[in-house]
Chains A and B, each alone.
Chain A
Amino acid sequence: MAETQDALLIAGGDHVHRDDVGIKLGMWLFLFTELILFGGLFLVYAVYRYLHPQEFHLAAQELDALVGTINTILLLTSSLTVAMSITAIREGRKWLSIALVLVTIILALAFLGNKYFEWAHKFEHGIYPRSPLLLEMPPGEILYFGLYFVMTGIHALHVIIGMVVLGFSVRFLWTGVITEHSYVRLEAGALYWHLVDIIWIFLFPLFYLLH
């Protein structure tokens, strides 16, 4: 009894208090901030598309819709597998859950690989910020490619952050921090992954399909 009393009095000790709803609420609030971060970018896109509709239209034809479609399929599938991993851990199937999160990470890697080749392809064609070819284009096309690099770049950064988050989920599943009775951390990680997915769902048509 005296020991628990002491434990309670230690400043800086973890307060033993479990609130799954609270954790998810906090996660949702954080996702709002991420959405608004991209909201600023969508706003910039909307303004410049409104000012240069014709040039955006032409520039968009330079992008390969097939590459974008493959990446969309990859990300959507990865959202499915991460959702399945939650169902798996709920049923107590730890190894299946780990495998599903790992598949999610592999799909994310495939997405990034695809993105890498896409960017490299653009660079080879002389399209990159301040490239001589780009500077000869009309302003709307310069802005289109500028926004393409900025927005898909920041999105790719979020894919990487999401992979780190999922990596921790694997570790927590492995070490038994996430169990069938306490899987809110996995849910929070999956929520973040869905955010990465949904932002792509908006980027994809804005850059690849509107032409």
Chain B
Amino acid sequence: MAEPSVVDYLHAPSKHRGPLSWILSTDHKRIGILYLVTMSFFFSVAVFLGFLLRLELLTPGKTIVDPQIYNELFTLHGMIMIFLFIIPGLPAVFGNFMLPILIGAKDVSFPRLNLLSWWLFLSGGILAVVSLFLPGGPVDTGWTFYIPYSVRTNTTVIPAMTAAFILGFSSILTGINFITTIHRMRAPGMSWFRMPLFVWSLYATGWIQILATPILGITLLLVIIERLFGVGIFDPSLGGDPVLYQHLFWIYSHPAVYIMILPGMGVVSEIIPVFARRTIFGYKFIAFSSIAIAFFGSLVWAHHMFTVGMSDTGQFIFSLLTFLVSIPSAIKIFNWVATMYKGSIALEVPLLYVLAFIVQFSIGGFTGMMLGALSINIHVQDTAFVVGHFHYVMFGGAGFAAIAAIHYWFPKMFGKMYNKRQAIIGWALLTFGFQVLYFPMFVMGYKGMPRRYYDYLPQFQIYHQISTVGSWIVVLGLLIVLHNLITALRKGERAEMNPWGGVTLEWTVPSPPPVENFVTVPTVTTGAYDYSRYEKKA
């Protein structure tokens, strides 16, 4: 139980009043909650846009909106989901809240910079929303902003790109902050190989954020300059090369998918040992595989561009490297499953989400290998198959990991426990609806249904209909999850200090944690998941 003299971060006195005590707070935990709230808002908007997209595709031709609106819908759905939810998602919310606690620190290295990151994030988000209402109308290029259309369209490309630029800056500052924190702020005894694996994944993510994001920055800047001054860098009539834009874009945007998935893998590595009551299997392999994914993931970008007409040698090398990335990912999967083997498994909500993650991520991973193979790639390039693959790894992987993380750390963050029965119902609907929504995309994509098309041939309708029904189930599941968590905030039961029986440092502090996290700075003497110690105590 919390000692009465220690004030938790939710009720701490502040020099500011009301909302100001939140939006001007440099406490990493409050900043984490700020991100959680703003991000949940953007996520809900993007889910709603996705819901409309699926509804439009229920019948061939017009169902609810015109083609132009449809183009705007899929662009915004992608832009918001990627730049405002899934790239910042896990690091900004759970990284901010948990990283310092997990390594026994009082805060991150640069608390004020951390607050600036959130403000930049908010400004970018607001700019993205404002751009919808500016003359010209919402951007309709797809989230990839491909040249030459992004220079020719009259929609509000510049504000949208500026928003993405600002969001990238926010992401870079968070990465710098986390890496410095991990290097400089670890508690006594917290050696590199005693760090929880979530911290390792944040470390790898931080490096990708720092090394890849600037390329996106300069690419967006160049397109903005093209639109304003027509310099000609990507304009073939002036000697420029539009394919060069695609290279620059994917040099960032492929590593970016590892920014999205690595922290999710970190969360899975946290949850499995706790609910299997076992020390994690192959700690060093999981830790190094994060670094390996970050490294190899930076060298595979051109597999998005196998059809642009690059040399056979180039195609061969990028295909080979793509296959190599799957090795560290598979190492993680095998180690997670091996950890559960002969464990004392408690099928609590966070573990259920993790199990769904493992299955869905594996399906997403295998279809990713298919896409990495040149022969299949040419066949299914730009079809619904790619959309299915992407959603299996990003929503079925990173998205489910985020929902697992909120169910795992919710009692710690807010000191309240949610209704577990309702949470399981939400999980069941979400997982079932997910397969109904995305699996048909593999089938119709393989049969030739292109992505981003407004209209389609009658033979694809049955798949579109199944998929749209799936989207309804997913939305219902999400609503139940959201309702359950909000109800728990208001009148949930008081959570104990350690409801799951975890052995990492966050479970040694009261729920919710006090302002400076630890009353006395802990000294670490064992590895992160030492369940032998736990069993002896019990």
**A40–B210 alpha-carbon span in the complex (Å):** 14
As a 0/1 sequence over residues 15 to 53 of chain A, the CB contacts with chain B under 8 angstroms (1 = contact) are 101010111011001101110111111011001100110
Interfacial chain B residues near A147, Cβ < 8 Å: 233
Interfacial chain B residues near A167, Cβ < 8 Å: none
User: Is the beta-carbon distance between B26 and A14 smaller than 8 angstroms?
Assistant: yes
Interfacial chain B residues near A40, Cβ < 8 Å: 214-215, 218-219, 248, 251
Interfacial chain B residues near A146, Cβ < 8 Å: 231-233, 238
- B184 interfacial by beta-carbon distance below 8 Å: yes
- B376 interfacial by beta-carbon distance below 8 Å: no
User: Is the beta-carbon distance between B180 and A25 smaller than 8 angstroms?
Assistant: yes
Nearest CB of chain B from residue A39's CB, rounded to whole Å: 7
Nearest CB of chain A from residue B18's CB, rounded to whole Å: 13
Q: Point out residues on A near B: beta carbons under 8 Å.
A: 6, 8-15, 17, 19, 21-23, 25-26, 29-30, 32-34, 36-41, 43-44, 47-48, 51-52, 129-130, 135, 138-140, 142-143, 146-147, 149-150, 154
User: Is the beta-carbon distance between B244 and A32 smaller than 8 angstroms?
Assistant: no
User: Is the beta-carbon distance between A129 and B222 smaller than 8 angstroms?
Assistant: no
- B179 interfacial by beta-carbon distance below 8 Å: yes
Nearest CB of chain A from residue B313's CB, rounded to whole Å: 16
User: Is the beta-carbon distance between B233 and A26 smaller than 8 angstroms?
Assistant: no
User: Is the beta-carbon distance between A12 and B231 smaller than 8 angstroms?
Assistant: no
Interfacial chain A residues near B183, Cβ < 8 Å: 22, 25
User: Is the beta-carbon distance between B233 and A11 smaller than 8 angstroms?
Assistant: no
Q: Which of B214, B221, B222, B241 contacts A33 (CB 8 A)?
A: B214
Q: Number of residues in B with C-beta < 8 Å to the partner?
A: 54
- Interface locus among B104-112, B124-132, B466-474: B104-112
Interfacial chain B residues near A12, Cβ < 8 Å: 14-16, 21, 24-27, 30
**A115–B14 alpha-carbon span in the complex (Å):** 49
Nearest CB of chain B from residue A157's CB, rounded to whole Å: 10
**A208–B244 alpha-carbon span in the complex (Å):** 25
Interfacial chain A residues near B30, Cβ < 8 Å: 11-12
User: Is the beta-carbon distance between B15 and A129 smaller than 8 angstroms?
Assistant: no
User: Is the beta-carbon distance between A10 and B213 smaller than 8 angstroms?
Assistant: no
Nearest CB of chain A from residue B17's CB, rounded to whole Å: 11
**A26–B180 alpha-carbon span in the complex (Å):** 6
User: Is the beta-carbon distance between A36 and B230 smaller than 8 angstroms?
Assistant: no
User: Is the beta-carbon distance between A149 and B180 smaller than 8 angstroms?
Assistant: no
Contact status of A150 and B231, CB under 8 A, knowing A9-B7, A40-B215? yes
User: Is the beta-carbon distance between B26 and A29 smaller than 8 angstroms?
Assistant: no
Nearest CB of chain A from residue B212's CB, rounded to whole Å: 8
A-B contact pairs, 30 of them (CB 8 A): A9-B7, A9-B515, A11-B14, A11-B27, A12-B15, A13-B26, A14-B112, A17-B107, A19-B109, A26-B109, A26-B180, A29-B210, A33-B214, A37-B214, A37-B215, A37-B218, A39-B215, A40-B218, A40-B219, A44-B244, A48-B239, A52-B239, A129-B232, A139-B240, A142-B238, A142-B239, A143-B232, A146-B231, A147-B233, A150-B222
For A135, give the chain B residue with the smallest CB separation.
Answer: B238
**A17–B105 alpha-carbon span in the complex (Å):** 11
User: Is the beta-carbon distance between A47 and B218 smaller than 8 angstroms?
Assistant: no
**A14–B12 alpha-carbon span in the complex (Å):** 14
Interfacial chain A residues near B217, Cβ < 8 Å: 37
Nearest CB of chain A from residue B519's CB, rounded to whole Å: 11
User: Is the beta-carbon distance between A26 and B232 smaller than 8 angstroms?
Assistant: no
User: Is the beta-carbon distance between B231 and A10 smaller than 8 angstroms?
Assistant: no
User: Is the beta-carbon distance between A36 and B238 smaller than 8 angstroms?
Assistant: no
Give 15 new A-B contacts, CB below 8 A, not counting A6-B13, A32-B211, A48-B239: A9-B12, A10-B14, A12-B14, A13-B26, A15-B107, A22-B109, A22-B185, A25-B180, A36-B214, A36-B215, A37-B215, A47-B241, A52-B239, A150-B222, A150-B233
For B113, give the chain A residue with the smallest CB separation.
Answer: A26
Interfacial chain B residues near A25, Cβ < 8 Å: 179-180, 183-184
User: Is the beta-carbon distance between A41 and B9 smaller than 8 angstroms?
Assistant: no
**A10–B515 alpha-carbon span in the complex (Å):** 8
Nearest CB of chain B from residue A54's CB, rounded to whole Å: 13
Interfacial chain A residues near B231, Cβ < 8 Å: 129, 146, 149-150
Within 8 A of A (CB), among B30-84: 30
User: Is the beta-carbon distance between A19 and B184 smaller than 8 angstroms?
Assistant: yes
Within 8 A of A (CB), among B395-450: none
User: Is the beta-carbon distance between B180 and A29 smaller than 8 angstroms?
Assistant: yes
Q: Which of A11, A17, A41 contacts B515 (CB 8 A)?
A: A11
Q: Which of A15, A38, A154 contacts B111 (CB 8 A)?
A: A15
Interfacial chain B residues near A38, Cβ < 8 Å: 218
Within 8 A of A (CB), among B197-232: 210-211, 213-215, 217-219, 221-222, 225, 229-232
- B383 interfacial by beta-carbon distance below 8 Å: no
- B176 interfacial by beta-carbon distance below 8 Å: yes
Interfacial chain A residues near B14, Cβ < 8 Å: 10-12
User: Is the beta-carbon distance between B110 and A33 smaller than 8 angstroms?
Assistant: no
Instruction: Please list the 4 inter-chain residue pairs (A to B) with the smallest Cβ-Cβ separation, ordered nearest first.
Output: A139-B239, A40-B218, A146-B231, A37-B214
User: Is the beta-carbon distance between A142 and B218 smaller than 8 angstroms?
Assistant: no
For B111, give the chain A residue with the smallest CB separation.
Answer: A15
Interfacial chain A residues near B506, Cβ < 8 Å: none
User: Is the beta-carbon distance between B111 and A129 smaller than 8 angstroms?
Assistant: no
Of A52, A130, A138, A150, chain B has the most CB atoms within 10 Å of the CB of A150
For A47, give the chain B residue with the smallest CB separation.
Answer: B244
Interfacial chain A residues near B515, Cβ < 8 Å: 8-11
Interfacial chain A residues near B15, Cβ < 8 Å: 10, 12-13
User: Is the beta-carbon distance between A32 and B184 smaller than 8 angstroms?
Assistant: no
For A153, give the chain B residue with the smallest CB separation.
Answer: B225
**A51–B240 alpha-carbon span in the complex (Å):** 10
- B270 interfacial by beta-carbon distance below 8 Å: no
- B161 interfacial by beta-carbon distance below 8 Å: no
- B140 interfacial by beta-carbon distance below 8 Å: no
**A40–B180 alpha-carbon span in the complex (Å):** 25
Nearest CB of chain B from residue A90's CB, rounded to whole Å: 23
- B287 interfacial by beta-carbon distance below 8 Å: no
- B93 interfacial by beta-carbon distance below 8 Å: no
**A110–B296 alpha-carbon span in the complex (Å):** 45
- B172 interfacial by beta-carbon distance below 8 Å: yes
User: Is the beta-carbon distance between B27 and A26 smaller than 8 angstroms?
Assistant: no
**A200–B358 alpha-carbon span in the complex (Å):** 49
Q: Which of B109, B110, B177, B233 contacts A44 (CB 8 A)?
A: B233
Interfacial chain B residues near A33, Cβ < 8 Å: 172, 176, 210-211, 213-214
**A30–B109 alpha-carbon span in the complex (Å):** 14
Interfacial chain A residues near B238, Cβ < 8 Å: 135, 139, 142-143, 146
Interfacial chain B residues near A48, Cβ < 8 Å: 239, 241
User: Is the beta-carbon distance between B184 and A43 smaller than 8 angstroms?
Assistant: no
Contact status of A143 and B240, CB under 8 A, knowing A10-B12, A25-B180? yes
Interfacial chain A residues near B110, Cβ < 8 Å: 23, 26
Interfacial chain A residues near B221, Cβ < 8 Å: 154
Q: Which of A11, A47, A142, A150 contacts B9 (CB 8 A)?
A: A11
